């Protein structure tokens, strides 16, 4: 693309293009994540899940979307109309805004802010207002309670998650997402190996921030009908829905960027070409994977009961085939293109792995009680995160002062943190006044 337009124009056009792409693709993605979620749940519960709409329910999300858009849009009277209208917008806007700084590939990034991470955190923290205001505006007790819970929970867990992130920031030494990834490339190791505990803390924190099980108290259907979304329906509701899944992708993206090496493929910094060619095995891997999926689709196509389903399955196979082709083609294009396309592939792969963990947790763990939640946040995660931070900083200092392998020092630091974690877990007594007020 670079030779089609002069770079001056490109600087303006490309981000818009990316933005359009993201905004266009995101709902679809969300819908299909829902499908995957239902399928995984069904599998874990030894069921089949959606099978009717499309082969293996491949078209289910589209059907759902249509249903949501066609549903009647109800605004309860006595509701605060302005805020009722504003809240979902805030939610979804903030969710989408966060993508601006997310580097999906070395080039595939709307804006590389030098405070990118902080920007993402700030924006996603603004997402609270969507929930709180929505809950308040719909003038219903369930909604209000859900909103309050959500506010308390988010404010509490933002702290823990942020502290968890900082441990990785120390290693990267920059706030710009791109530089963080590059730092991991230069150091030749993903930061998760340096600060596993930081990663763990962030993971728990992010689950809580996205209101997912086992921390889904704001929308605990058994206690508050649907929490802050009780009074919402149809399109507004789907906006909330979209925001929730967009947020999931965002936190996954942050985790991927900071801990899992962003768009880098495994062993990114070790280059060994296959004999005879200039292609590296790990670069060839993605296309082969997708090719395999395509072949599987073709193999399944004739087994479908109905003609249409046969066709759809074949089309899915074709789609995969095209993607595989693109990935393969990139191997022979310029390194920049290769990086860009494969980067996107690896990035998405990691994101979806992370999200898969979300699903897994959801179907595995029972829901927490509210005071338990607060206790976990304030009495376990935050102190642990602080200790982890200090330990990591000490490790860095040690490497700078005395030299030696950082990995070794960080392992020591992790051991210390682990000990503290055990200690904390041990003397965590039962009484807990929920400390909401010190949300700062």
Partner 1 sequence: MVPVDHYLWLSLALFTIGVIGVLTRRNVIIILMSIELILNAVNINLVAFSHMFGNVDGQVFAIFIITDAAAEAAVGLGIILAFFRNRETLLADEMDMLKW
Partner 2 sequence: MGLNSILFYFFAALAVGSAILMVTRRNVVHGAVYLITTLLATAGVFLLRQAEFLFITQVILYVGGIMVLFVFVIMLVNLDVSLLQYQFNRQRFVAGVLALALAAQLFIVIKMGKTSLFPQARVPEVLPKNTEAVADALFGRFMLPFEIASILLLVAMIGAVVMAKRRV
Give the residue carrying structure tokens 């499908």.
35
Q: Which residue, 175 or 321, has its beta carbon nearer to partner 2? A: 175
CA 304 to chain centre: 33
CA 136 from chain centre, in angstroms, equals 27
Nearer to partner 2, 86 or 390 (CB): 86
CB of 437 to partner 1, least distance (A): 5
Min separation Cβ 343 and partner 1, Å: 35
CB of 439 to partner 1, least distance (A): 8
Residue 435: which of partner 1, partner 2, none does it interact with, CB under 5 to 8 A by kind? partner 2
- Tell me whether residue 154 or residue 297 sits nearer to partner 1 (CB atom): 154
The token pair at 288 is 């082969």
Tell me how far CA of residue 330 lies from CA of 80, 131, 273, 294, 340, in angstroms: 53, 43, 15, 18, 9
188: left (phi over 0), alpha (psi -120 to 50) or beta: left
> What is the closest distance, in whole angstroms, from the C-beta atom of residue 377 to partner 2 in the complex?
15
Q: Find the radius of gyration of the CA atoms of the chain.
A: 23
DSSP 98-128: GGGG--SSSS--S---TTHHHHHHHHHHHHH
Our CB check for partner 1 shows the closer of 115 and 289 to be 115
Among partner 1, partner 2, none, partner that 102 touches (CB below 5 to 8 angstroms by kind): none
Q: Which of 77, 401, 429, 440 binds partner 1 (CB under 8 A)?
A: 440
- Kindly determine how many residues on this chain lie close enough to bind partner 1 according to the rule CB under 8 A: 4
Q: End-to-end distance of the chain based on CA atoms, in angstroms?
A: 46
Restricted to residues 63-102, the positions that interact with partner 1 (CB under 8 A) are: none
Q: Which residue in 381, 358, 416, 413 sits closest to 195, CA to CA? A: 413
Among partner 2, partner 1, none, the one that 152 touches (CB under a kind-dependent 5 to 8 A) is partner 2
What is the nearest approach in angstroms of partner 1 to the Cβ of residue 231? 25
Q: 86 vs 436, which CB is nearer to partner 1?
A: 436
Q: Name the DSSP letter for residue 280.
A: B
HSE-CB at 330 with a 13 A cutoff on CA atoms is: 23
Determine phi and psi for 280, rounding to 5 degrees: -95, 145
Shortest Å distance, C-beta 107 to partner 1: 32
* Least separation in angstroms between CB 209 and partner 2: 12
Interface of this chain with partner 1, residues 126 to 155, rule: CB under 8 A: none
- The residues that touch partner 2, with contacts defined as CB under 8 A, are 80, 82-83, 86, 113-115, 118-119, 121-123, 125-126, 128-129, 132-133, 136, 144, 147-148, 151-152, 154-155, 158, 175, 433, 435-440
Distances (CA, A) of 122 to 35, 155, 350, 382: 30, 12, 23, 19
Encoded tokens for 181: 């990834």
Binding characters for partner 1, 399-438, by CB under 8 A (x = yes): --------------------------------------xx
Contacts with partner 1, residue ranges (CB under 8 A):
437-440
């Amino acid at each position: 693309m670079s030779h089609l337009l002069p770079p001056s124009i490109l600087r303006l056009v490309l981000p818009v293009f990316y933005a359009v792409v993201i905004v266009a693709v995101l709902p679809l993605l969300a819908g299909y994540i829902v499908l995957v979620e239902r399928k995984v749940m069904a599998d874990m519960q030894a069921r089949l899940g959606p099978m009717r709409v499309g082969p293996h329910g491949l078209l289910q999300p589209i059907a759902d979307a249509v249903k949501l858009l066609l549903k009647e849009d109800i605004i309860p009277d006595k509701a605060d109309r302005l805020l009722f209208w504003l809240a979902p917008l805030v939610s979804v806007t903030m969710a989408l805004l966060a993508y601006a700084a997310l580097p999906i590939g070395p080039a595939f990034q709307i804006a590389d802010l030098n405070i990118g991470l902080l920007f993402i955190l700030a924006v996603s923290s603004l997402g609270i207002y969507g929930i709180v205001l929505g809950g308040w505006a719909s003038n219903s007790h369930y909604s209000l309670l859900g909103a309050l819970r959500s506010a308390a929970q988010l404010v509490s867990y933002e702290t823990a998650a942020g502290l968890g992130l900082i441990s990785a920031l120390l290693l990267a030494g920059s706030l710009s997402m791109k530089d963080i990834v590059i730092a991991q490339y230069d150091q030749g190791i993903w930061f998760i190996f340096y600060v596993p505990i930081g990663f763990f803390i962030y993971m728990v924190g992010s689950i809580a921030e996205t209101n997912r099980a086992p921390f889904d108290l704001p929308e605990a259907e058994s206690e508050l009908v649907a929490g802050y979304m009780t009074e919402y329906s149809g399109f507004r509701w789907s906006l909330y829905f979209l925001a929730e899944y967009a947020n999931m992708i965002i936190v996954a993206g942050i985790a991927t960027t900071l801990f899992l090496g962003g768009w880098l493929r495994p062993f990114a910094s070790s280059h060994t070409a296959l004999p005879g060619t200039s292609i590296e095995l790990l670069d060839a891997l993605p296309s082969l994977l997708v090719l395999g999926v395509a072949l599987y689709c073709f193999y399944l196509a004739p087994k479908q009961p109905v003609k249409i389903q046969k066709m759809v399955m074949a089309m899915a196979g074709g789609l995969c085939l095209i993607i595989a082709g693109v990935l393969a083609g990139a191997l022979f294009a310029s390194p920049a293109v290769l990086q860009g396309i494969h980067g996107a592939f690896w990035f998405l792969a990691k994101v979806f792995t992370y999200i898969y963990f979300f699903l897994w947790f959801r179907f595995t763990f029972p829901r927490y009680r509210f005071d338990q939640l607060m206790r976990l946040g304030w009495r376990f995660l935050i102190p642990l995160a602080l200790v982890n931070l200090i330990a990591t900083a000490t490790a860095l200092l040690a490497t700078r002062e005395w030299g030696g392998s950082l990995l070794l020092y960080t392992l020591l630091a992790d051991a210390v943190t682990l000990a503290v974690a055990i200690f904390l877990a041990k003397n965590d007594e039962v009484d807990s006044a929920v400390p909401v007020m010190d949300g700062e």
